[in-house]
Amino acid sequence: MSKDKLPAPRLQLRWAASDLRSGYQWECHYELVLPLGEYDIRREQYDDEGNEVGKIDELIVPMKQPSLRGGSGTPCTAGDGSRYCDSPYRDGAHALWDAKILGNPPVFVIAPDGMAFPHKERI
């Protein structure tokens, strides 16, 4: 599933390449995503000169600083090329706990290439 077609509101754990600290190639951003209505002024985006350059449909709110991961593998991709939901252990647990408190919005893990995986509680 592509991250462009995900429901909002949602919680997401979004992987991105990182250069924050030596030895850590990946960072995972734990975020709350809220839909923005047609007349919500938070949709408006401006350049440095104050000119409106477009509108956004979602507001992405960071829940904490990114988690870092080292190693040679790419998040959400196994060594054989298969794909899977790859959440950081602590942030993944926090997202599931927070979802329960917030009325159970869906939780997704977003791979570096934008592929999205539903994150469910492990039994």
Would you kindly state where each structural domain of the chain is located, as residue ranges?
3-118
Q: Mention every residue, 6+ apart, whose C-beta is less than 8 A from residue 24.
A: 18, 68, 69, 70
pLDDT tens, residue order, the chain (123 aa): 655 689 999 999 999 999 888 889 999 999 999 999 999 999 999 999 999 999 999 999 999 999 999 988 999 999 999 999 999 999 999 999 999 999 999 999 999 999 999 998 764
Total-model pTM: 0.90
Cα separation of the two ends of the chain: 23
